C-alpha cells in the first residue's frame, strides 16, 4: 500500500527557520507500523532523519511521538489504523518537551519531574530482618502504575502542560501513586503534602488525554483522582480543589443537581474568613465576571430548587458514606 | 423522534440561553422532548473523583427513569454525555454483571431498577446519526455561507474512546464539522478543537484555565474564524465568560463569539439571533447577526 508520511522536522544546525515539514511517498506493507515506515525513510530515503527507538515492541518507551496530532508509540501504531482519507499520516515530535532534532525530544524535563516525587521505596522505622512482606492483593493493585514504560506520551498530550510547564504532570503523578499505594512505603504524609501543593494533583483538568494516549493502560488521570481522594481522606482540605470536590458532593446531596453559585462560595471558602482572605484576589476578580453576567441576564437563579425524589438521593449518599 | 431529555444543570444555570434554544430547535426538527424531571446531576466527573460507585448509582437512577419510558436519553452537554457514557459502559459490562446488581440495590427504595438498555446520545450525535445531515439540511431555510466557524468539542465527547463507541459510529469524530458544513459555513480546522477549555480548574488554578481560553480563541482568530461552535455549555462558560480575562492576561486583543451548537442549528432553521438568546453572551455576537442579514435563503 501507498502512504505519504508528512514529517515535522527540526534541524538545529540549519540557518534561520529550523523547523520544516517534509513529505515522503512510501510503498509499505499492510502490517507496517508508523515506526517501520519511519525506519524505511531513514534507511532508504534520508539517513539524516533523527528518531529514537529500540525494542520495537512497546517495551522500552523510546518512540513516543505525535501521530496525526495525538501522542502514541510509533511502534504500536499501525499505518492502516491511522492513515487519513487522502493517504497521509502526519508525524511530529512529542509535545510539551523541547525538540532536539526531528523526532528526538529532550526528556530531561520529564525525568526531573519523576525524580521530584522521589520514585523509590522509603521506610521510616528500622529495616526488617528479612524481606519486606506485602499482601498479594496490594501488589496486584499496583500492576497498572508499575506497567508505566516512561515513554512520555501522556506528558506529550497533557493539556495543562501545554499552558504551564510547571505542572508536575501525569507520568510523575502516576509514579507517585505507585509508591503511595505500596504498603511498604511509609512516606505518604510527606508525599501528600508535596502533591497537595500548587502544580500538584489539583492542577489537573481531568481532560482524559493521558488516559487516552497511554499505551500501557496506566490511566494516569485515574491515579491522580485517587490521590486527590486520599489527600482529602487524610484530612488535608486546605485547597480550593479539596473544597471544590467536597462542596460539589454536598450540593448534589442536598438538591440533586448542582448550584454553581453555591459551589463558588464553597470553593473559595467565603464563609470562613481565613480562607476567604486567602482567596480575596480571586473573589474580587469574580466581581467583573458577575457584573458582566448580570448585565447579560445570565446569573444563575438565586434560589436553587430541589429535584423530585431528592430524599432518595440523600439516602444513596448516606448509604455510601458520602 | 421522541427522547428523554436530560438538559443538565448549566443549560438552566450559567448558560440560561441554551435551554430555550434547544427546546425551540427540537420543536422545529420534530424531536419530541420528555424531560427527565427527577434526574440528578451526573456528577460531572467531580463526584466520581471521590466515589465512582456513588456516581454510577446516581446515573443508573437516571437511566432507569428513561428505561421506564422506553426512550433514549438526549443530552446537550459534552460533559454530561461523556460521564453518562462512561457510567453506562461500566454498568453494562458483560464481564461484570454483578456490578449492575450491586448498583441496583441502592435504587430499590425508590422502586427503580436499571436493566441496562438505555441509549444515551448528545443532540450532536442524534442530528448526525438518527436524522442524518441531509435530513437536517432539508429543514434549513438559511444558508450561512459567509461564516467561518471553528469547532470545539469538549473533552468528554472525544475521550476516553472506550466509552464513546467510535468504531461503530465513525462520524462522531467529525460530527461537529459535518454540521458546520451543513449550515453552509466554512470549517476552520485546528488541533485545539479536541483539547480542554480549562473550565474544570477555573476556581483552582485560574491562570492556567484562562491561558487555555486565550490559546484556543486567539488561535482560531488568527486562522480567520468568525466564531467557535461548541456542543458543551461548560466550554461555553469558560470560552465566552472568561474571554475578557483571557484578553487581559494574554495581552492579545481577542474577540471570538462562541455559539452553542443548538444556536447555530437554530439560525439555519430561520430563528432570529434573539430567539436563540445570542444577546445573552458575554462576547458580542453582532458580527454573526450582521452576517446573517446578508445570508442567502436556501
Ligand atoms: S487528565 Fe490531567 S494529567 Fe491527564 S492529560 Fe489531562 S490535565 Fe494532564
Ligand atoms: S503513564 Fe503511560 S503514557 Fe505516561 S509515561 Fe507511563 S506508559 Fe507512557
Ligand atoms: S521502540 Fe520501544 S517502545 Fe517503541
Looking at residue B36, its pLDDT comes to 96
The CB density around residue B270, as the number of other CB atoms within 10 Å, is 14
Size of chain A in residues: 322
Domains in chain B: boundaries: 2-121, 138-297
CATH number belonging to the domain at A2-105, selected among 3.10.20.30, 3.60.20.10, 3.40.50.800, 3.50.50.60: 3.10.20.30
Q: Is the confidence metric ipTM above 0.90 for this complex?
A: yes
Is there an atom of ligand 1 within 6 Å of A160 CB? Answer: yes
Domains in chain A: boundaries: 2-105, 108-233, 240-320
Give distance in angstroms: CA of B82 to centre of ligand 1.
Answer: 16
**DSSP β-bridge partners for residue A33:** A78
Atom of ligand 2 nearest to the CA of A71: 3
User: Are the C-beta atoms of B243 and B213 separated by less than 8 Å?
Assistant: yes
User: Are the C-beta atoms of B227 and B289 separated by less than 8 Å?
Assistant: no
Q: What residues in chain A have per-residue pLDDT under 70?
A: 302
Higher pLDDT, A322 or B25: B25
Query: Three-state DSSP class for B20?
Result: helix
**Is A322 within 8 Å of chain B by CB?**
yes
pLDDT at residue B13 greater than cutoff 90? no
How many whole angstroms separate alpha carbon A293 and alpha carbon B15? 10
- Interface-testing mutation among B46, B151, B198, with chain A (most A C-beta atoms within 10 A): B46
Report the sign of the C-alpha dihedral through residues A35, A36, A40, A43, in that order.
Answer: positive
B199-257 per-position pLDDT tens digit: 999 999 999 999 999 999 999 999 999 999 999 999 999 999 999 999 999 999 999 99
Atom of ligand 2 nearest to the CA of A64: 8
Cell of A123: 521506610
Atom 3 of ligand 2 has which residue's CA nearest to it? A214
Is there an atom of ligand 1 within 6 Å of A205 CB? Answer: yes
Looking at residue B49, its pLDDT comes to 83
DSSP string, A57-88: SSSS---EEEETTEEEEGGG-BHHHH--TTSE
For residue B215, the surrounding DSSP H or E stretch is helix B206-222
**Is A186 within 8 Å of chain B by CB?**
no
Distances (CA, A) of B47 to A73, A177, B200: 32, 20, 13
**Is A239 within 8 Å of chain B by CB?**
yes
B258-279 per-position pLDDT tens digit: 999 999 999 999 999 999 999 9
**DSSP β-bridge partners for residue B2:** B32
How many whole angstroms separate alpha carbon A216 and alpha carbon B148? 40
CATH fold of B2-121 reads: Glutathione S-transferase Yfyf (Class Pi); Chain A, domain 2 (1.20.1050)
Burial class for A51, CB neighbours closer than 10 Å (0-12, 13-18, 19+):
buried
**Is A280 within 8 Å of chain B by CB?**
no
How many whole angstroms separate alpha carbon B15 and alpha carbon B172? 24
The domain defined by B138-297 carries CATH number 3.40.50.11810: yes
Task: Kindly report the pTM of this predicted structure.
Answer: 0.94
The CB density around residue B255, as the number of other CB atoms within 10 Å, is 12
Name the H helices within chain A: 34-40, 79-82, 108-116, 136-141, 143-146, 153-157, 170-180, 188-195, 209-213, 220-233, 240-255, 260-267, 273-278, 280-295, 310-319
CATH hierarchy code of domain A108-233: 1.10.1060.10
Which residue from A265, A115, A117, A105 is spatially nearest to A185, judged by alpha carbons? A117
Report the sign of the C-alpha dihedral through residues A222, A227, A233, A237, in that order.
Answer: negative
Looking at residue A269, its pLDDT comes to 82
Higher pLDDT, A6 or B292: A6
Please calculate the CA angle B15-B18-B21 and round it to the nearest 5 degrees: 155
| Of A162, A241, A298, Cβ closest to residue B204 | A241
Rounded average pLDDT over B28-49? 94
For residue B178, the surrounding DSSP H or E stretch is helix B175-182
Higher pLDDT, A282 or B127: B127
Looking at residue B150, its pLDDT comes to 98
Burial class for A23, CB neighbours closer than 10 Å (0-12, 13-18, 19+):
exposed
How many whole angstroms separate alpha carbon A128 and alpha carbon A69? 49
Amino acid at each position: 500500500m501507498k502512504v505519504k508520511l508528512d514529517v515535522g522536522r527540526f534541524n538545529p544546525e540549519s540557518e534561520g527557520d529550523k523547523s520544516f515539514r517534509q513529505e515522503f511517498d512510501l510503498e509499505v506493507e499492510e502490517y507496517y507500523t508508523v515506526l517501520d515506515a519511519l525506519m524505511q525513510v531513514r534507511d532508504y530515503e534520508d539517513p539524516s532523519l533523527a528518531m529514537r527507538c529500540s525494542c520495537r515492541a512497546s517495551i522500552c518507551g523510546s518512540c513516543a511521538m505525535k501521530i496525526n496530532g495525538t501522542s502514541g508509540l510509533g511502534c504500536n501504531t499501525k499505518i492502516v489504523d491511522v492513515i487519513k482519507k487522502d493517504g497521509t499520516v502526519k508525524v511530529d515530535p512529542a509535545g510539551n518537551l523541547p525538540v532536539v532534532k526531528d523526532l528526538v525530544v529532550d526528556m530531561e524535563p520529564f525525568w526531573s519531574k519523576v525524580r521530584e516525587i522521589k520514585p523509590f521505596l522509603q521506610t521510616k522505622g528500622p529495616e526488617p530482618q528479612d524481606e519486606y512482606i506485602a499482601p498479594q492483593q496490594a501488589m496486584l493493585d499496583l500492576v497498572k502504575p508499575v506497567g508505566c514504560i516512561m515513554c512520555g506520551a501522556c506528558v506529550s498530550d497533557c493539556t495543562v502542560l501545554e499552558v504551564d510547564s510547571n505542572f508536575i504532570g501525569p507520568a510523575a503523578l502516576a509514579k507517585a501513586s505507585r509508591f503511595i499505594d505500596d504498603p511498604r512505603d511509609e512516606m505518604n504524609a510527606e508525599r501528600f503534602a508535596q502533591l497537595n501543593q500548587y502544580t500538584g494533583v489539583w492542577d489537573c483538568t481531568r481532560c482524559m488525554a493521558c488516559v487516552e494516549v497511554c499505551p500501557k493502560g496506566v490511566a494516569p488521570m485515574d491515579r491522580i483522582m485517587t490521590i486527590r481522594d486520599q489527600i482529602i481522606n487524610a484530612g488535608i482540605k486546605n485547597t480550593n480543589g479539596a473544597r471544590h470536590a467536597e462542596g460539589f458532593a454536598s450540593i448534589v446531596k442536598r438538591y440533586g443537581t448542582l448550584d454553581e453559585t453555591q459551589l463558588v462560595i464553597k470553593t473559595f471558602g467565603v464563609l470562613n474568613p481565613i480562607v476567604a482572605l486567602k482567596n480575596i484576589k480571586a473573589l474580587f476578580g469574580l466581581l467583573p465576571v458577575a457584573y458582566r453576567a448580570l448585565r447579560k441576564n445570565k446569573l444563575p437563579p438565586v434560589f436553587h430548587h430541589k429535584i423530585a425524589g431528592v430524599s432518595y438521593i440523600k439516602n444513596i449518599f448516606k448509604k455510601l458514606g458520602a | 423522534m421522541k427522547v428523554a431529555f436530560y438538559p443538565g444543570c448549566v443549560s438552566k444555570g450559567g448558560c440560561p440561553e441554551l435551554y430555550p434554544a434547544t427546546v425551540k430547535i427540537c420543536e422545529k426538527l420534530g424531536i419530541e422532548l420528555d424531560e427527565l424531571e427527577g434526574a440528578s446531576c451526573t456528577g460531572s466527573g467531580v463526584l466520581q473523583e471521590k466515589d465512582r460507585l456513588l456516581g454510577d448509582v446516581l446515573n443508573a437512577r437516571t437511566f432507569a427513569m428513561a428505561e421506564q419510558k422506553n426512550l433514549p436519553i438526549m443530552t446537550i452537554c459534552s460533559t454530561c454525555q461523556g460521564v453518562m457514557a462512561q457510567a453506562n459502559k461500566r454498568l453494562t459490562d458483560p464481564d461484570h454483571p454483578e456490578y449492575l446488581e450491586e448498583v441496583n440495590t441502592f435504587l430499590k427504595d425508590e422502586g427503580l431498577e436499571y436493566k441496562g438498555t438505555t441509549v444515551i446520545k448528545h443532540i450532536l450525535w442524534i442530528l448526525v446519526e438518527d436524522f442524518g445531515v441531509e435530513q437536517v439540511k432539508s429543514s434549513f431555510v438559511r444558508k450561512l455561507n459567509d461564516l467561518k466557524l471553528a469547532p470545539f468539542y469538549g473533552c468528554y465527547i472525544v475521550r476516553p474512546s472506550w466509552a464513546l463507541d467510535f468504531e461503530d459510529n465513525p462520524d462522531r469524530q467529525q460530527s461537529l464539522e459535518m454540521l458546520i458544513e451543513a449550515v453552509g459555513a466554512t470549517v476552520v480546522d485546528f488541533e485545539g478543537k479536541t483539547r480542554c477549555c480549562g473550565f474544570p480548574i477555573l476556581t483552582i488554578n485560574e491562570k492556567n484555565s484562562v491561558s487555555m481560553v486565550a490559546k484556543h480563541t486567539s488561535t482560531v482568530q488568527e486562522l480567520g474564524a468568525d466564531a467557535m461552535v461548541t456542543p458543551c455549555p461548560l466550554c461555553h462558560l469558560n470560552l465566552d465568560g472568561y474571554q475578557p480575562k483571557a484578553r487581559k492576561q494574554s495581552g492579545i486583543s481577542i474577540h471570538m463569539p462562541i455559539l452553542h451548537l443548538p444556536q447555530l442549528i437554530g439560525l439555519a432553521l430561520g430563528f432570529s439571533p434573539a430567539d436563540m438568546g445570542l444577546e445573552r453572551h458575554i462576547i458580542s455576537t453582532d458580527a454573526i447577526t450582521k452576517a446573517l442579514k446578508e445570508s442567502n435563503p436556501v
